[in-house]
Amino acid sequence: MGQLGLRAGFATSAIRYYEAEGLIDSARSPGGQRRYQRTVLRRLAFIRAAQNVGLSLDEVRTALAGLPQGRTPSKADWTRLSQSWRARLDEQIDGLTALRDGLTTCIGCGCLSLRRCALSNPGDVAAGVAPGAGYLPPALRRGARAWRPS
């Protein structure tokens, strides 16, 4: 497990977690040590790439479930899995560009501390737009939870 972690760039705790979640698997040696097939390196690289694109672990699990068992996935397998990533990446690139270009203005966070916010977000109207930084592009707001006053 330590060797796999070093080679793949993951902490052993992450490898244990991904194995417990069924995203990767191992066989036990007669001495009880975990043994991993080479294909696990590719699965871990896929997990990292998928998370960087913004896929949840449930989405990663679904994608990995579509890979063949007992053989190394082919280029066609990976192409099929990653087809939907292009649109998602383009959306994130557009969102990051908008974030970069708008960092000095109001992003609709509700802090109302910048002078510009009084013009862009008077009376915190952004609170009705979306939770969190409501003026950010949707790709950069994934996972935001709605705020409810207590």
The answer as to whether 59 is a domain residue is yes
Q: Which residue's entry shows tokens 């708008």?
A: 102
pLDDT value, residue 114: 67
User: Do 133 and 108 share a domain, yes or no?
Assistant: yes
Q: What local confidence, expressed as pLDDT, does residue 18 receive?
A: 93
Q: Determine the pLDDT at residue 143.
A: 57
Q: Are 126 and 135 in contact (CB under 8 A)?
A: yes
Domain that includes residue 115, residue range: 89-140
Instruction: Look at phi and psi of residue 10 and say left if phi exceeds 0, alpha if psi is from -120 to 50, else beta.
Output: beta
Q: What is the CATH number of the domain that holds 75?
A: 1.10.1660.10
**Continuous segment of H or E residues that includes residue 17:** helix 12-20
Q: How many CB atoms lie within 10 A of CB 61?
A: 15
Reduced to 3 states, what is the DSSP secondary structure of residue 25? coil
145 domain-assigned: no
148 assigned to some structural domain: no
* Of 83, 112, 131, the domain-final residue: 83
Per-residue pLDDT tens listing for the chain (150 residues) = 888 888 899 999 999 999 999 899 899 989 888 899 888 888 898 889 888 888 888 888 888 888 777 667 788 888 888 887 888 888 888 888 887 887 777 777 777 676 667 777 777 777 787 777 777 777 776 654 444 444
Q: Are residues 79 and 27 in the same domain?
A: yes
Query: Is 150 inside a domain boundary?
Result: no
- C-alpha closest to that of 111 among 89, 130, 127, 128: 127
Tokens of 40: 């696990």
pTM of the predicted structure, to 2 decimals: 0.63
Domain-embedded: residue 56: yes
Domains held by the chain: number: 2
